[in-house]
Chains A and B, each alone.
Chain A
Amino acid sequence: MKKKILVVEDEESLRLLYEEELKSEGYEVLTAVNGREAIELLETGKPDLIILDIVMPVMDGMEALGRIVGKERKIPIILNTSYSGYRQDFMSWAADAYVTKSADLSELKKKIRELLEISEKSRNL
């Protein structure tokens, strides 16, 4: 079965880029434009992994991260941002990985594969 990835990103061009690239990797892709939408999709969409931007209107990624781990403890989450200051934020430590935004998505794709493998393993335990 295809793994489902939720991309949370307010910038449309980036969102489209991620969607296209990840689909061609063989994933099913859900998108949300802010944290609030992401939380709604958590229940209806049942994603296997979440890529989370930090700076977004309506509800930012850090707030959403807290609510997501409060609801679904085990979904792997990648924080994806162009700012480095986020590590000052305690809640950012709840993410499973941090990837700096870049036009080259190879690092992001690698992290996705790694985390999906780990969560697959822990599910089979």
Chain B
Amino acid sequence: MKKVLAMVLAGGRGERLYPLTRDRAKPAVPFGAIYRIIDFTLSNCLNSGIRRIYALTQYKSTSLHRHIQLGWNILSAPLGEFVEAVPAQQRIDEHWYQGTADAIFQNIYTLQVERPDLVLILSGDHIYKMDYRKMIAFHLEKEADLTVAAIRMDRRLSREFGVIEIDRDWHIIGFEEKPEEPRTIPGDPGGILASMGIYVFNTELLVRRLIEDVRSDSSHDFGKDIIPMMIGKDQLFAFDFRQGDFGGVGYWRDVGTIDAYYEANMDLISVTPQLNLYDPQWPILTYQPTSPPAKTVWIEEGRVGAALNSIISNGCIISGGNVKRSILSPKVTVHSFAEIQDSILLEGVDVGRNAKIKRTIIDKEVQIPPGMEIGYHLEEDAKRFTVTPSEIVVVPKGIRL
């Protein structure tokens, strides 16, 4: 059994998710009522038997550090297992990480101490279920130096991805970051192979290439610099995500924008969501403080506490209000005669009497005063809140209404 160390790049700023990323890095953004985005990657690691995991953080990392410390301190240190958040330590360079490759290089001392055979480099920004063991087995079978996980995307999306060019054997023969004219998949002119930012590296070769990169003019990025430099020199293979996709539905989301975030959340309340959170074979773990069970109260003429087609977390009280097609994180209170539909309410939100909320994301702990309407008059809403191109309203954390 090869010794594998996972390094999760968890410094993503997620600027297009603003204001949800105003106070937290993208991997710490809440998702699916009780999770944070990074929980999916960390759960993939554990479900794949990988139990030595560093999450490399930098910007706005307090919330992420707290989450990992409270929620992921579940492995056995005496057995050499850990999930540990590592802040940018500036031991080599006094700057923030300059690119994805720089983030790993700056942690070279950590690699030194751990001395793994293979390094699994992951992003903490994506939502998917993947058995990394399949990818590692492929990497070993091909005797690769580097294996990159790849997913088919429509060629029109090429400007958003690193595009991989392969031969019949899945040997990588080209790599372009966000090209306008992408190389398509052989025999599939409408499709491209997009890099998922998931890499399996032989440790020694990784270190050598990182050092070469650090000593040259480079943006120190795996997609822009390291992979193109290695093509033709090292053995690079692409791994088809479908071979490792747990559940086999091809689900992988970047949730890079508020609209994508909203859609991905809303998918969870459909009858059979693409992303199955209820599969005991692939548990998604998180941190959840103990809360009392959710409850609904009042059933009388004109005043019914009810939630339909919704996700309701622990600690929620729906007291005489009506919730439809919505996602309620823990400890949300909905008071009498309030109406909530097609919305996402994060932890501790309190919706006052007679308030009406539609197609709105409300960040943690916001108090909605009685009678307030959000999502009904978008021009008015746009004066104080973010309103997205798909007309989703976002009420930021800390706002007083």
**Interface residues in chain A, defined as those with a beta carbon under 8 Å from any beta carbon in chain B:** 66-67, 69-71, 73-74, 89-91, 93-94
Q: Mark B83-122, 1 if CB is under 8 A from A, else 0.
A: 0000000011110000000000010110110000000000
CB distance from B361 to the nearest CB of A (A): 40
Q: Among the listed A70, A74, A89, A93, which residue makes an inter-chain contact with B92, where contact means beta carbons less than 8 Å apart?
A: A70
**Which of B111, B211, B217 makes the CB contact (< 8 A) with A94?**
B211
Q: State the 10 A-B residue pairs at the shortest beta-carbon distance, nearest first.
A: A70-B93, A70-B92, A66-B92, A94-B211, A90-B112, A90-B207, A73-B215, A90-B108, A93-B211, A69-B214
A111 to chain B minimum Cβ distance, whole angstroms, is 17
A93 touches B207 (CB 8 A): yes
Contacts of A74 in B (CB 8 A): 215
Kindly state the separation between the CA atoms of A94 and B92 in the bound complex, as whole angstroms.
12
User: A89 to B216, alpha carbons, bound, how many Å?
Assistant: 21
Contact assessment for B214 and A91 in the assembled complex, using a CB-CB cutoff below 8 Å:
no
Asked, given contacts A73-B214, A93-B208, A94-B214, whether A67 binds B111 with beta carbons under 8 Å apart, the answer is no
Shortest distance between the CB of B222 and any CB in chain A (Å): 18
CB distance from B299 to the nearest CB of A (A): 66
Closest A residue by C-beta to B213? A73
Q: Is A69 within 8 A of B215, CB to CB?
A: yes
| Chain A residue at minimal CB-CB distance from B214 | A69
Sample (12) of A-B pairs whose CB atoms are under 8 Å apart: A66-B108, A67-B92, A67-B93, A69-B211, A70-B93, A70-B106, A70-B214, A90-B108, A90-B109, A91-B109, A93-B207, A94-B211
The count of chain B contact residues (Cβ–Cβ below 8 Å) is 16
Residues of A within 8 A of B217 (CB): 73
Report which B residues bind A (CB closer than 8 A): 91-94, 106, 108-109, 111-112, 207-208, 211, 214-217
Contacts of B208 in A (CB 8 A): 93
Alpha-carbon distance between A69 and B111 when the two chains are bound, in angstroms: 18
Contact B108 A71 (CB under 8 A): no
Q: Report chain A residues within 8 Å CB of B106.
A: 70
Nearest CB of A to B107, in Å? 11
- Given pairs A66-B91, A73-B216, 10 additional interface contacts (CB within 8 A): A66-B92, A67-B91, A67-B92, A69-B211, A74-B215, A89-B112, A90-B111, A91-B108, A91-B109, A94-B211
Query: Which of chain A's residues have a CB closer than 8 A to the CB of B93?
Result: 67, 70-71
Please name all residues of chain A whose beta carbon is closer than 8 Å to the beta carbon of B215 when the two chains form the complex. 69, 73-74, 94
> Which residues of B sit under 8 angstroms from A69, Cβ to Cβ?
92, 211, 214-215
Q: How far is the CA of A89 from the CA of B112 in the complex (A)?
A: 7
Residues of B within 8 A of A94 (CB): 211, 214-215
**Docked pose: A93 CA to B106 CA in angstroms:** 14
Report the minimal beta-carbon distance from A59 to chain B, rounded to whole angstroms. 12
Expressed in whole angstroms, the minimum distance between the Cβ of B397 and any Cβ of chain A is 35
Cα distance A67–B94 in the bound complex, in angstroms: 9
Q: How far is the CB of A104 from chain B (nearest CB, A)?
A: 29
Give B212 Cβ to nearest chain A Cβ, in Å.
Answer: 9
- Chain A's closest residue to B208 (CB) is A93
Cα–Cα, bound, A69→B89 (Å): 16
Interface-central residue, B106, B215, B216, by most chain A CB under 10 Å: B215
Chain A's closest residue to B216 (CB) is A73
Nearest to A94 among chain B residues (CB) is B211
CA A67 to CA B109, docked complex, whole Å: 12
Contacts of B207 in A (CB 8 A): 90, 93
With both beta carbons as reference points, the residue of chain A lying nearest to B211 in the complex is identified as A94
**In angstroms, how far is the closest chain A Cβ from the Cβ of B220?**
10
| Chain A residues positioned under 8 Å from B112 (CB to CB) | 89-91
- Closest CB of chain B to A86's CB: distance in Å? 12
User: Contacts of A71 on B, CB cut-off 8 Å?
Assistant: 93
Give the complex CA separation of A74 and B217 in angstroms. 9
Which of B92, B111, B214 has the most chain A CB atoms inside 10 A of its CB? B92
Cα distance, A73 to B211, chains bound together (Å): 10
> Closest approach, in angstroms, between the C-beta of A42 and any C-beta of chain B?
13
> A74 CA to B108 CA in the complex, in Å?
19
Residues in B whose Cβ lies below 8 Å from that of A89? 112
A10 to B211, CA, bound (A): 26
